[in-house]
A and B are shown apart, each in its own frame.
Chain A
């Protein structure tokens, strides 16, 4: 566990316009004969420049909510609007488009392409966005510099430490200037010292005006956020600001 952060000194930035509006969202899974209610009616607003943690024990619907927020999945019923667009009605390709432009993913296992160097990894979302190569290199390089890896841009993932890999992943999440950064257990595969470094990086990103959503089961991670949502059995148990 990382040591408790100095909670009382953290500044809170004013929030911006509505990014995500979720209302009465449910999600059912069919597992053989059994129907699983992963979400039973979740209502949630997320505004620009929030720093939000989503917590809950396994089976609470935390992962399902994250997939929904990341536009990887669509709700069975209920309303989900992303920047005013109805996500529930989108086709697979439209979802891919919105993931590409609006959402930056940071995964627990980093999910870097092993045979591509840091620069190529960070460029990937720009390739899918159709950015010409000159601009792509430049933006990817800047993104890597912004996470402190300006001198590592041609290293392959296996030539980088765990913390550095996660930084590459963060740079990749940032590079397309998304509306939200969605991190799934971002420190889960890191030792506590490195975990703290990544959380410090998140703090910087927040200061710089980004919107962060961190899914975690660690209180110590959640404590860094300005707002914590706790899920239980597919419902929001609490939604509180922690500053």
Chain B
């Protein structure tokens, strides 16, 4: 047992001495591994980033919220099936809530009607356009996933009296009132004065595309007055009680909505129920495809690096044939020699891996600070995985030459010049 440990430490020592003695050669060889590891780990940060970004975004959409729309979010290529559905109306939400509150063991909690569009707004000195604007009722406060940076949501009184108040997303508030509080200020929307009563905390963006901070929310009455309601676009957001019962909730909601809308039995639903899960199903294969293709391409560069290691280990074995003979004469067993060259190959790979990982981290940090919304993520798991990949690469590329070295006939090896 001791012998294995001594031989192992001796092998590590020899390997490091060997690398030190052949600095340039080792560096050039390691370069292949460095490039490979950088490629693989960058791919890893991208995949990780897409995954967490996706989950975060789903949470922002509300993973405990179902959406009742005229259109399904996915598979709308046969749009004519949906075109003559009657639009969703505020009364539908009122009716729905009445039924929900009268059935105590409902999986559903609350529904809120809303419409949305893009709008621009102005403050004294600044203006922002293309802001996602939602007109909804006071109940929206129960569905909103964001916290308030300052202020509050509009209340039922403000809602019912169509008061001209607005809640701004973080970025909107920052753009209009850089460096100061927006609370209480008046902004012009559609030429009409609205008072800012709340600012939402920063949320980030959905898959780096749609920013949740570039939005505003206003009472439905005020929205209707200045924008009108677009029938095709309305929706009812329904919060459910327990997101682990999503399927039950969806089923119950379908039944309730058929009642609300008066769909005759046998007739198809006059609405579509959408939600995070649908999105997930749709995007999962894409995510997997990106991951597989990316790992394959980056894996190739690692493979090229591995060939470099194998080559250099062959050279190293050849150069040191006589030394192998001497070691065997002095009592080195096959496994000792095998270990020695294997550890040499693995050491180069691990050193390359560490450098590669460091480079990846620097690139990650640079991208993070330059483009905060770019979906990449650097996790501790990535460190572990890339180290494992380095070791495995070293073993795979070193095993053939090391095996050859261990099988050398000591007589022949000692004679080698």
Contact = CB atoms under 8 A, between A and B. Distances in A.
Interface of A: 67, 70, 72-73, 92-93, 96-97, 99-101, 105, 107, 111, 113, 115-116, 124-125, 127-133, 172, 176
B326 A128 contact: no
A116 B326 CA distance: 14
Interface residues of B, number: 25
Interface stretch (B39-47, B193-201, B327-335): B327-335
Contact of B330 (A93, A115, A128): A128
Contact of B331 (A100, A113, A133): A100
Contact of A72 (B18, B21, B410): B410
Given A111-B326, A113-B323, A133-B6, A128 B332 contact: yes
B17 A96 contact: no
Interface string B312-323: 000000000011
B2 A96 contact: no
A83 to B, nearest CB: 16
Nearest to B7: A127
Interface of B: 2-3, 6-7, 10, 17-18, 21, 322-323, 325-336, 410-411, 414
B331 A128 contact: yes
Nearest to B335: A93
B333 A72 contact: no
A224 to B, nearest CB: 23
Contact of A101 (B3, B322, B331): B331
The 10 closest A-B pairs by CB, nearest first: A100-B331, A130-B3, A128-B331, A111-B326, A96-B333, A130-B2, A72-B410, A125-B330, A93-B333, A105-B329
6 contacts: A92-B333, A93-B334, A115-B21, A125-B331, A128-B331, A172-B330
A96 B333 CA distance: 6
Contacts of B6: 127, 130-133
A128 B7 contact: yes
Contacts of A129: 3, 331
Contacts of B322: 111
A92 B331 CA distance: 10
B411 A96 contact: no
A73 B330 contact: no
Contacts of B328: 72, 96, 99
A133 B329 CA distance: 21
A72 B414 contact: yes
A97 B323 CA distance: 18
Contacts of A113: 323, 326
Contacts of B10: 127
Given A101-B331, A115-B21, A67 B7 contact: no
B331 A96 contact: yes
Contacts of A70: 329
A99 B331 contact: yes
Given A107-B414, A127-B6, A130-B6, A99 B330 contact: yes
